[in-house]
């Protein structure tokens, strides 16, 4: 087995026993990237020299008494909308092709403190707008299970890199399912924490009231280890929750006997593929064997979630992306005699079609005469969706359903049909609108492509989500399957 595909616990044991060095582990990651990324296209920037230099420094600590970081020596990939000091950060957009930040995002400072090694920046849909990674301004990432299929989006590069064994873990961001959907499509574990649990300082904003950074890994235990390190209060993020971070790893291993599971009828209804529905039903039976019980419930306002989400997210994107005008950073079109012309040409040539589509929709929804009819109404619907979750989660421990209505689709299949593409997020979007935590774990395969099981919890109760996910993972073999490249 490749070193990169081993568990964190196994790798740390080997490092501590001097069976391997950090340099060997980082070399294994970089060699795997060189071997397969020409097929997968998960990386936009590989930080080879700095990764090797950092590994060499960490090697000096092996065998030395004293504390080591919780992610000591583990090679990681970082979604390219997370600011990294001295390393190009493009958001997969031509507009930021030459942008190199001078500071770190908070999560990067935390990963440095945990002594992981960043090996590069990962592909994504441009400015995190998309569900397939086909909207990357550079090249579409591919699904390691079947290279003709999408890896999901917008964190497609993050999921693909983990599934392909290029890194031990990756960070992504989730605005409407952008961690969980690619995790489902690529057969890995992806956690969207409670909104405000992880600092957004240094995350290039798409929709500020929805965005949340989270980890993608091969196992639930590894995922809990990463969230443990990146979660916590940050006074540089005005939305950050000043709450203690519990020990997520300690929550693992307990039984789920007596736990009550809610299964929304809307999540298994029309539009959900038969194979996906069957695998979710099998997962519920497995949890029953472990002592949990489940009942069908209703989240009645979920039917309005997609419409509300695209109005809110596009409106916030319209405001957030106004800063990308070619004046302060990024690519600038050469229009020397006319400032307005420079703005227009910079944005029209630097931004892709999907980003332009959402900026135009958001600008319209916020405009005079339409604000109350669209943006305000969408926010009112958002409140109703959150109340649906609150009401159900008062009576049940978790909510379970599919992560996505189908498995991954072929590259190019939906690219000219934005409404169909938007509908792929129908099961993940309500979670972001409500701000609650949710994880996707593998629960089977349909025609050789992974199926994801979504487990949704109460606000700031990631422990219970991890507990249920881990119990299910340990009772099944799905997480052990790996693509062959």
Residues 86, 88, 94, CA angle at the centre, nearest 5°? 155
Tokens 């997370």 locate to 82
- Whether 178 is a known active-site residue: answer yes
Q: Can you tell me the distance from the alpha carbon of 323 to that of 329, in angstroms, rounded to the nearest whole number?
A: 9
Q: Give the DSSP per-residue string, 303-321.
A: GGHHHHHHHHHHHHHHHHG
Question: Closest by alpha carbon to 349, among 134, 60, 97, 107?
Answer: 97
Select which of 178, 199, 240, 315 is catalytic.
Answer: 178
Check 23, 29, 79, 121 and give the catalytic one: 79
Angle at 376 between CA 372 and CA 382, to 5 degrees: 155
Choose the catalytic residue: 136, 154, 158, 315. Answer: 154
From the CB of residue 1, how many other CB atoms can be counted at a distance below 10 Å? Answer: 8
Work out whether the CA dihedral 276, 282, 285, 286 comes out positive or negative: negative
> CB–CB of 448/409 below 8 Å?
no
Query: For residue 201, how far is the Cα from the chain centroid?
Result: 16
The rounded distance, in Å, linking the Cα atoms of 357 and 126 is 12
User: Do the beta carbons of residue 89 and residue 82 sit within 8 Å?
Assistant: yes
Q: Does residue 79 have an active-site annotation?
A: yes
C-alpha pair distances (Å), 471 with each of 187, 198, 219, 286, 478:
17, 25, 12, 10, 13
As a residue count, the chain comes to 485
Q: In 302-448, at which residue ranges do the beta strands (DSSP E only) sit?
A: 398-402, 438-446
Task: Find tokens 């392909």 and name the residue.
Answer: 164
Structure tokens at 440: 């996707």
Alpha helices (H) in 321-427, listed in sequence order? 339-350, 353-366, 377-393, 418-423
Joined together, the tokens standing for residue 426 give 């129908």
Collapsed DSSP state (helix, strand, coil) of residue 328: coil
Sign of the torsion angle spanned by Cα atoms 454, 459, 465, 466: positive
Asked, as a colleague might, if the bond just before 154 is cis with ω within 30 of 0, I would say yes
**Greatest alpha-carbon span in the chain:** 72
Per the annotation, the verdict on 154 as an active-site residue is: yes
Name residues whose C-beta falls within 8 Å of residue 256's C-beta, 6 or more positions apart in sequence: 287, 290, 291, 292, 467, 468, 471
Positions marked catalytic: 79, 154, 178
């Amino acid at each position: 087995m490749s070193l990169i595909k081993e568990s964190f616990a196994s790798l740390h044991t080997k490092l501590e026993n001097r069976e391997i060095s950090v340099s060997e582990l980082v070399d294994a990651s970089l060699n795997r990237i060189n071997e397969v990324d020409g097929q997968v296209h998960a990386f936009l920037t590989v930080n080879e020299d700095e990764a090797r230099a950092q590994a060499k420094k960490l090697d000096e600590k092996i065998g030395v008494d004293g504390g080591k970081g919780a992610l000591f020596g583990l090679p990681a990939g970082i979604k390219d909308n997370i600011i990294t000091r001295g390393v190009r950060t493009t958001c997969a957009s031509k507009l930021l092709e030459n942008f190199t930040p001078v500071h770190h995002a908070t999560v990067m400072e935390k990963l440095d403190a945990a002594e992981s090694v960043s090996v590069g920046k990962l592909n994504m849909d441009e400015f995190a707008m998309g569900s397939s990674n086909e909207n990357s301004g550079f090249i579409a990432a591919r699904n390691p299970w079947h290279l003709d299929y999408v890896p999901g989006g917008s964190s497609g590069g993050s999921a693909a890199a983990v599934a392909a064994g290029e890194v031990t873990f990756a960070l992504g961001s989730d605005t409407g399912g952008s961690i969980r959907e690619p995790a489902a499509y690529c057969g890995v574990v992806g956690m969207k924490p409670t909104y405000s649990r992880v600092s957004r300082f240094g995350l290039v904003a798409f929709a500020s009231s929805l965005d949340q950074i989270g980890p993608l890994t091969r196992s639930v235990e590894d995922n809990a280890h990463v969230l443990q390190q990146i979660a916590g209060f940050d006074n540089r993020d005005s939305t950050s929750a000043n709450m203690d971070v519990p020990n997520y790893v300690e929550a693992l291993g307990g039984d789920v006997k007596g736990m009550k599971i809610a299964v929304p009828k809307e999540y298994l209804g029309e539009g959900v593929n038969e194979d996906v529905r069957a695998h979710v039903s099998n997962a519920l039976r497995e949890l029953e064997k472990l002592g949990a019980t489940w009942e069908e419930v209703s989240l009645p306002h979920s039917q309005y979630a997609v419409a509300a989400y695209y109005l809110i997210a596009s409106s916030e994107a319209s405001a957030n992306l106004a800063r990308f005008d070619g004046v302060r950073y990024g690519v600038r079109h050469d229009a020397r005699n006319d400032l307005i012309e420079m703005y227009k040409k910079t944005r029209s040539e630097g931004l892709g079609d999907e980003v332009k589509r959402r900026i135009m929709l958001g600008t319209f929804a916020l405009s005079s005469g339409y604000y109350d009819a669209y943006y305000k109404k969408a926010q009112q619907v958002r409140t109703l969706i959150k109340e649906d979750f609150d009401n159900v989660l008062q009576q049940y421990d978790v909510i379970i359903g599919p992560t996505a209505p189908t498995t991954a689709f072929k590259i190019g299949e939906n690219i000219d049909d934005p409404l169909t593409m938007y509908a792929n997020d129908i099961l993940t979007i309500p979670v972001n609108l409500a701000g609650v935590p949710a994880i996707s774990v593998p629960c089977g395969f349909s025609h050789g492509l992974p199926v994801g099981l979504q487990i949704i919890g109460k606000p700031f109760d990631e422990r219970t989500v991890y507990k249920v996910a881990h119990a299910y993972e340990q009772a099944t073999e799905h997480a052990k399957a790996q693509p062959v490249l």
